[in-house]
Chains A and B, each alone.
Chain A
Amino acid sequence: MSELHHMGLAELAAGLRARRFSSFELTETFLKRIEASQGALNAFISVTREAALAQAAAADRALAAGTGGALEGVPVAHKDLFCTKGVRTTCGSRMLDKFVSPYDATVVAKLKSAGAVMLGKTNMDEFAMGSSNETSYYGPVRNPWDPRLVPGGSSGGSAAAVAARLVPGATATDTGGSIRQPAALCGITGLKPTYGRVSRYGMVAFASSLDQGGVLTASAADAALMLREMAGFDPNDSTSVEREVPDYVAELDAPLAGLRVGLLQEFFDKGLEPGNEQRIRAALKVFESLGARLSEVSLPNLPLSVPVYYVVAPAECSSNLARFDGVRYGHRCEKPRDLTDLYRRTRGEGFGAEVKRRIMTGTYVLSAGYYDAYYLKAQRVRQLISADFTRAFTGVDVLMGPTTPTPAFPIGAKTSDPITMYLNDIYTIGANLAGLPAVSIPCGFVSELPVGLQIVGPHFSEARLLAAAHAFQRATDWHRRIPAGYA
């Protein structure tokens, strides 16, 4: 038997059910790994050791009785913007440093009822605003492949934790690439589902029309299992879609032969580093060898994604974050003189620079006299981008391209220039604007740093994306690579 932490989430679930090891043992193994790595990686904001072991013991009893859910006893971690009852939910912000949620997010409740054991809450960019995990109030997360580098963001803690095998699977959210970009930079599998596939209830909102919860795991097979347990209509989320959840696991082996793959021309641009491009092109060859038919596809409006995103997302964020006012929960400044002082100092102290920048941008683009020129125009362009995708999917089944233009970059390298940082999401934002599912899978290394391949599909094509990713992962072993020091 290989070491426990080498096994993926699906394999662990099967092992637990076969009683080859106990959940308690498994949980203890991963907790120790988390605790040992915390100084080096800073992947967690909270570790819930006692609760986890108690949950594991309960899972073992269920497994012994032959009951329990599909993830019974399997350790997971939640990005710290999923509300967890009785557990601190900080969003990586001083604003919520002491906030203990009185309720579970739907995703958290679903995974809990499937039997998953929560080990803790993962570090993230403050309120999910960032591409490098450097905006966290709790300090940056470090990339397990090279601690001088960023893990990507905003789900950097979840990605680093899975890459370093501190946990076999973690929840994450993706507003402009926050699952796929860190998955690429950390060499793991990250799936952002279709907008509306996974409930947003209990997921602290950044940009409501773009936010979507998803998974970070070692492989597509693991992602399929975890997503199956998380997805589904939620009466508490009006934007979740009432549509049956397919058995993604059962559909993993759907044949790939004949899959029509569109290569997104706009993604093979000047910004794409040659090393990354090489790895992507090599991966495409693998798909071709598996029977995929490749063709070039152009989405002419796609290059407008970044400017559109940086109008829409801040606009929604400026409104979503207005509730953090020091009145009912969260940070409150000392001895406010009056109401204005309460607001000014509470928010001034509670929010970091990037969050403030986006609130101000968003407030500006929604202001009287600017609304039409910015917000309304951005929404129109957003529709054009969506239409581009729809048109592309009449000729191809999936689109492929790089997830990021470069591999992981050094901590501090881009913090002084927000625009350069924003451009890191240039290939991922389109799927959010159009509400499409997309997955990033590891497809090789450049200077010992992982490179991610992105696959984008039509709405609700998660099964197709996962099957394609799974076929690739059966033919390659990039997803099995573990950073030195964490093997």
Chain B
Amino acid sequence: MSDWETVIGLEIHAQLATRSKIFSGSATAYGAPANSQANLVDLGYPGVLPVLNGAAVRMAVKLGLAINATIAPLSVFARKNYFYPDLPKGYQISQYELPIVAHGALDIVLDDGKVKRIGITRAHLEEDAGKSLHEGLPGVTGVDLNRAGTPLVEIVSEPDLRSAREAVAYMKKVHTLVRYLEICDGNMQEGSFRCDANVSVRHAGEHRFGTRAEIKNLNSFRFVERAINYEVARQIDVLEGGGKVVQETRLYDPDKGETRSMRSKEEANDYRYFPDPDLLPVAIDAALIESVRATLPELPDQKAARFVSQYALPGYDAQVLTASRELADYYEAVTRAAPADPKLAANWVMGELAAALNKESLEIGSSRMTAERLAGLLKRISDQTISGKLAKEVFEAMWSGGTEADAVITARGLRQITDSAAIERVIDEVMQKNPGQLAEYRAGKDKLFGFFVGQVMKATGGKANPAQLNELLKRKLGGSA
């Protein structure tokens, strides 16, 4: 088993966040009543013609620049011909031989922390098809053409991915990038971001690729990982059983957790691609490229590198915090308001805050805790008003009550005791109440130190400054004062 190598390439479809469709003036908003956002062009009426949406072109160029790709000075739209009820013209307008973006790359971080460069063969513009509807329509198929003509960019990777984990890391990276660039909303449930996975296996060290299967329409990171793992195991089973992998298109069934055959290569359509005579080649000059370049934001990798140098964060923290532009902005807002300890801020954003958001399935953008409030709490930790442990309690109160840290601290009397004399008084009391333990400790049972810490904390309601307590307790228990 161990000598099998997995080879994966992903074709990611990202819906471009244009207001109108790629070849018509219809709106692209999701969730409108069926066929309410389809005009005569989208419906493929006789005589209508496509007109390219310049915003879609600019978005594709933006993507190309962000992945260090070549932007084609001339790219060509082609017709992909096949019959299907949700494809009104009987062909999809796509790009075939001359895509707008080619030869790019993205770096992903592997589980062991190593960076791996994934090649991006091409990215091309195309229109989406409509949707066939079966639910609630017994005996017939409904067609909703709202989605028909929605602009997509299809991002095709090289077969550089070697495991389902790598595939997911790459897909997440692309997901992060398109949202940074604000060219796609990344909403996977609504189908704005989805992928097809080309999967094959071969013996390690072999140069030729094995026969691949294409798994269609994966719309969650979890499905990508599971579908690929299932498919890899299936193919290895087939090969080890003396069989051959068939080149085919497969569908992933998330309920059963397995892939099943959709159609084989022999049944595949001959799409009869040819340049669309209704559209001129897309000409992109240096001026357009530069005007798009001027709109590029700081990219995820650049931001992560800056977080490492500017905030002295570990690489892992920087990766996590830059996973989305919103999260990174939040983190930076926290550190701006509480600049004393950027690592502390990172811990809280990645720890308590992330957990609280996760629990309620909230995005950072809809966090109930503003960055300024969180910074208010962190300041009280840094200036030792409260201990880190109590801070968690304060955080919870702030989260559910929507209040400021100082208000919670005051109301609950959680201010940390940093007065040495006060702490010493409590220590003395504890020692008096527990003479047996004191004797045992002094006889060499060091473990009892923790017992005394606990007793003092209990007596102070957890408010004693831990560092001071440690120091004072050590001294007192040792009998030196």
| Interfacial residues, chain A to chain B (CB-CB below 8 A) | 81-83, 89, 91, 96, 99, 101-103, 105, 200-205, 207-209, 235-239, 315-316, 318-319, 321-325, 327-330, 339, 343, 363, 366-368, 371, 375
Contacts and interface: CB of A to CB of B under 8 A. Distances in A.
A91 B50 CA distance: 21
Given A327-B85, A367-B270, A83 B46 contact: yes
8 contacts: A89-B46, A105-B47, A208-B278, A239-B280, A316-B274, A319-B91, A319-B272, A325-B90
A102 B143 CA distance: 20
Contacts of A235: 51
B362 interface: no
A325 B274 contact: no
Nearest to A347: B83
Given A201-B48, A238-B280, A103 B40 contact: yes
B46 A96 contact: yes
A202 B47 contact: yes
A318 B81 CA distance: 9
Nearest to B23: A238
Most chain A beta-carbon neighbours within 10 Å: one of B40, B47, B50: B47
A235 B51 CA distance: 8
B296 interface: no
Contacts of B451: none
A93 B90 CA distance: 19
A91 B47 CA distance: 11
B278 A323 contact: no
Given A83-B47, A238-B51, 11 more contacts: A83-B46, A89-B47, A91-B46, A103-B40, A207-B277, A319-B274, A323-B90, A325-B85, A343-B83, A366-B272, A375-B274
B89 to A, nearest CB: 5
B106 interface: no
B279 A101 contact: no
Contacts of B43: 328
Given A102-B40, A322-B90, A327-B143, A239 B277 contact: yes
Contacts of A102: 40, 45
Contacts of A368: 270, 272
**8 nearest A-B residue pairs (beta carbon):** A322-B90, A366-B272, A209-B277, A208-B277, A202-B47, A204-B46, A323-B44, A83-B47
A200 B46 contact: no
Contact of A363 (B51, B85, B272): B272
B277 A316 contact: yes
B83 A329 contact: no
Interface string B28-40: 0000000000001
A209 B49 CA distance: 12
Contacts of B49: 200-201, 236-239
B88 interface: yes
Given A238-B279, A327-B143, A366-B274, A322 B91 contact: yes
Nearest to B268: A368
A328 to B, nearest CB: 6
Nearest to A322: B90
Contacts of B89: 322-323
A328 B42 CA distance: 11
B47 A325 contact: no
B51 to A, nearest CB: 5
A81 B277 CA distance: 19
Contacts of A239: 49, 277-280
Most chain A beta-carbon neighbours within 10 Å: one of B43, B46, B279: B46
Contacts of A207: 277
A319 B90 contact: yes
Interface string B76-105: 000101010100111100000000000000
A278 B448 CA distance: 125
Interface in B264-310: 270, 272-274, 277-280
Given A323-B90, A328-B44, A371 B143 contact: no
B109 interface: no
Contact of A366 (B47, B81, B279, B280): B81
Contacts of B280: 238-239
Contact of B85 (A83, A103, A319, A339): A339
A105 B90 CA distance: 22
A201 B91 CA distance: 18
A322 B51 contact: no
B45 A201 contact: no
Contacts of B51: 235-238
Contacts of B83: 322, 325, 343
B477 interface: no
B356 interface: no
B52 interface: yes
A327 B91 CA distance: 14
A366 B49 CA distance: 21
A316 B270 CA distance: 16
Given A316-B277, A327-B85, A238 B52 contact: yes
Contacts of A316: 274, 277
Most chain A beta-carbon neighbours within 10 Å: one of B85, B273, B277: B277
Most chain B beta-carbon neighbours within 10 Å: one of A204, A327, A367: A327
A368 B80 CA distance: 12
Contacts of B44: 323, 328
A99 B272 contact: no
Nearest to B44: A323
A200 B44 CA distance: 15
B197 to A, nearest CB: 24
Given A202-B47, A202-B48, A319 B81 contact: yes
Contacts of B47: 81-83, 89, 101, 105, 200-205
Contacts of A99: 46
Interface string B303-322: 00000000000000000000
Contacts of B52: 238
A339 B143 CA distance: 13
Nearest to B143: A327
A375 to B, nearest CB: 6
Nearest to A203: B47
A368 B50 CA distance: 26
Contacts of A237: 49, 51
A366 B82 CA distance: 12
A315 B79 CA distance: 11
A366 B274 CA distance: 7
B79 A319 contact: yes
B90 to A, nearest CB: 2
A430 B289 CA distance: 39
A323 B272 contact: no
Contacts of B274: 315-316, 319, 366, 371, 375
Contacts of A208: 277-278
A375 B272 CA distance: 11
Contacts of A105: 47
Contacts of A321: 90
Most chain B beta-carbon neighbours within 10 Å: one of A81, A105, A325: A325
A395 to B, nearest CB: 30
Contacts of A315: 274
B302 to A, nearest CB: 37
Nearest to B141: A339
Contacts of B270: 367-368
